[in-house]
Structure formats: structure tokens, C-alpha cells
Amino acid sequence: MIVCNPLLNSMELRGLRGIVFDCDGVLFDSREVNILFYNRIRAYFDLDPLSSLEEEFVHMHSVQDSLEHILPRECLPRLNEIRENINYVSLLPHMRMEEGLQELLQLLRRKNIMMAVNTNRTTTMDLLLQEFGLDDYFWPVITAGQVSRPKPHPESMFKILELWSVSSREVAFIGDSSVDQETAFASGVPFWGYKNEYLQADMLIPDFWTLREFLARRLAS
């Protein structure tokens, strides 16, 4: 696997017009917040906390898929009751934006590189971007609620490509999970793995500061 570094010359960037970002685990370190959220739901039904496998699942999948995975079937008809009593918005201030992200986005804007979000979040995405002052950087922001088949189905990525009027080889998708990897492969988009060396990625990104230095050098040339 190619590891991103400022002196890397083997990655072809000619024709790069846009970068698509996953949200959880990429834009934000949200793992602990997500676990807290779903454990609150489990506690609401007097269930034990998530297992380690369940923690992995909810980190990668949509809210609906996660709830169906971690709750007994008899609890599912009470989902509206859950939404009224469990307030995810109150957890947003506890999210941690990845270091170097804002500086990377500023560079991409100066270089006229389009930026989008492709996430399995649903209703909280706009509020999250507003909370951290990132809402002006991304268009479009595609959530699980805007497609009939969320990631890893490529529908969300195809929607971004259509809105941008670009081909799959003119963009890159930054993700941190096997779901993101499958989405990239299914859509024919180059995949850059973020902080996860176990993925089958075209390039591994150790952090956004390194990616920024790499892109600043390569896009300038």
C-alpha cells in the first residue's frame, strides 16, 4: 500500500477535480460519542451495553441499520419513542474534529478542488457541520436519508459524480472503514484510506497534516 507523505511522487493526481469525505472516523473522531448514543438507547430498553462487534457495526452503518442490528425486534416499533427521548444533538459538542482538517479544506478551496460528504448519518449531518463551522466547504452533503440504498451501495457516490458532472477517475474518496472501501470499489472511485492500514486502499493517509503537505506540493506542480 502507498503511504501518503510530502515527497510521494508515485500517486497520479493529474485531473483531480474533487475529494469526497466520509464523516465519522474521517472528518470527526466520533466513535466514543456514537457508542454513548447507542448505549443510551440500549439502556432505555434495559439492555446491556454494546458488544465490541456491535460497536464496530454502529460506527460504519446508518442509524436505521444500526438500530435494527442492536435492538430486539420487539423494540423496533418504538423507534419514534426513542427519537423523542434520546437527544443526539446534545452530544454534538463532544465530537472532536480531526486535526489539520480545516487547514486541508482551506487548501483545497484555494486549489479549486470540489469537496463533498458521503455519510451514513441521517438527520444530524447539517447540524454537525454548522456546529464546527464547516458547512460552507462541502457540496453536496449526501446522507443515508437522501438515497434509497446507503453505503456500501454506490448510489450515494454516483449521485455526487452526477451533481459534479465528473467521471469516477477525477475524484478520490477518503474513508476509514470497509463500508467506505466497498463503496469506492463499487463506484470505480479511487479510495484513500484514513488511519486504517488494514483497508485495501490506493493510498493510506496517516493524518490530514500529511495529506495537506502532499497535496500542496503535487497540486502546485
Of the listed ranges 6-10, 104-108, 133-137, 199-203, the least confidently predicted one is 6-10
Kindly report, residue by residue over 156-177, the tens digit of the pLDDT: 999 999 999 999 999 999 999 9
Q: Give pTM, 2 decimals.
A: 0.86
Band of residue 200 on the pLDDT scale cut at 50, 70, 90: very high
Cell readout for 48 is 446491556
pLDDT at 30: 82
- Who wins on pLDDT, 148 or 81? 148
Of the listed ranges 31-35, 67-71, 115-119, 180-184, the least confidently predicted one is 31-35
Q: What is the DSSP letter of 4?
A: P
CA gap 34, 69 in Å, rounded: 14
Whether the per-residue pLDDT at 83 is higher than 80: the answer is no
Of the CA atoms within 13 Å of residue 111, those in its CB half-sphere come to 24
Q: What distance, in Å, lies between the first and last C-alpha atoms of the chain?
A: 24
Positive or negative, the CA dihedral 4, 201, 65, 49 is negative
Band of residue 221 on the pLDDT scale cut at 50, 70, 90: low
Residues whose CB falls within 8 Å of the CB of residue 215, separated by 6 or more in sequence, listed in order: 13, 104, 107, 108, 111
Mean pLDDT of 41-64: 90
pLDDT, mean over the chain: 92
pLDDT at 87: 74
Fold of 18-29+95-220: Rossmann fold (3.40.50)
Kindly report, residue by residue over 16-52, the tens digit of the pLDDT: 999 999 999 999 998 888 898 899 999 989 999 999 9
Q: Are 25 and 45 in contact (CB under 8 A)?
A: no
Kindly report, residue by residue over 110-136, the tens digit of the pLDDT: 999 999 999 998 878 998 999 999 999
Phi, psi (5° rounding) for residue 149?
A: -135, 105
